Amino acid sequence: MVLASGSMALATRTERTPSLIGSVWRSTVGKKAVMAVTGVIMLAYLVAHMLGNLKVFFGAGEFNHYGAWIRTIGEPFLHHKWFLWIARVVLGSAVVLHGVAAFQLSRRDLAARPAKYAHARRRASYATRTMRWGGVILALFIVWHILDLTTLTVNPNAEEGRPYENLVASFDRPPVTALYIVAMLALGLHIRHGFWSAAQTLGANSPRRDRLFKVLANALALLLTCGFIAVPVGVMTGVVS
């Protein structure tokens, strides 16, 4: 009797749905949500990074002091530099997840449209069409940027604890400045489509809020691009030296 009633209950039970992480990562919608969340994390960091960079205009003393302070955030609860390392791990994971999801989704998207139209038409905006290669350019730039100003491997000054002098030495090389400015323009384009797209992906968008998110995306893109480019322009014009 017990066995029989047991099998009855099994027969009427609804199928179990897969785990949250499994169902999210396996679906295109969920993977996009991962891209949106990691994108927003990186965007929030970039706003803080850009604002911090602007301290360069207050001189070497203040900028280097700011650089040293970042290493003390969270003390005494956190050990020296721990906040910095937590931020690095979070950002590193965000970049990797964002990139892996983008790669997997792009492969899928290309496979979903194997035949092209004979009558080709220009589609979507420039920012939208350049998301994939723009993302690749940004990833390569991040590698260069870390080698230049974090590990100081390719920095001509390479003095630990003197970010101001390292920065000025780096931007004294015109090709580096040009590369930096191009990367920041790519960043602006990426954010212009990416921020609104994240709002759409996370379900925050609606017909009523669409304009707001588009305006916000453009404002963020403009603010970050101009803010970041201001530093090499400052070095080029001699305002920062």
Partner 1 sequence: MNLTLRIWRQRTADAAGAMTSYEVSGISEDMSFLEMLDHLNEELILAGDEPVAFDHDCREGICGACGMVINGQAHGPERTTTCQLHMRHFADGDTVDVEPWRAAAFPVVKDLVVDRSAFDRVIGSGGYVSVPTGSAPEAHATPVPKPVADLAFEHAECIGCGACVAACPNGSAMLFTSAKVVHLNALPQGAPERESRVLGMVGAMDAEGFGGCTNTGECATACPKGIPLQSIATMNREFLRASLRGGRGA
Binding partner 1 by CB under 8 A: which of 38, 53, 166, 197? 197
The three-state DSSP-derived secondary structure of 59-104 is CHHHHHHHHHHHCCCCCCCCCCCHHHHHHHHHHHHHHHHHHHHHHH
Q: Does 40 bind partner 1 (CB under 8 A)?
A: no
Nearer to partner 1, 1 or 112 (CB): 112
Binding positions for partner 1, 126-165, rule CB under 8 A: 128, 131
Q: How far is the CB of 133 from partner 1 (least distance, A)?
A: 13
Nearer to partner 1 among residue 174 and residue 203 (C-beta):
203
Applying CB under 8 A, among 8, 23, 44, 226 the residue interacting with partner 1 is 23
By CB under 8 A, residue 99 contacts partner 1:
no
Q: Is 13 in the site for partner 1 (CB under 8 A)?
A: no
Q: Please select the residue that binds partner 1; options are 124, 140, 215, 222, rule is CB under 8 A.
A: 124
Site for partner 1 contains 192 (CB under 8 A): no
Residue 109 contacts partner 1 per CB under 8 A: yes
Q: Are 195 and 35 in contact (CB under 8 A)?
A: no
Binding residues (CB under 8 A) for partner 1: these are 17, 20, 23-24, 26-33, 105, 108-121, 123-124, 128, 131, 193, 196-197, 199-207, 210
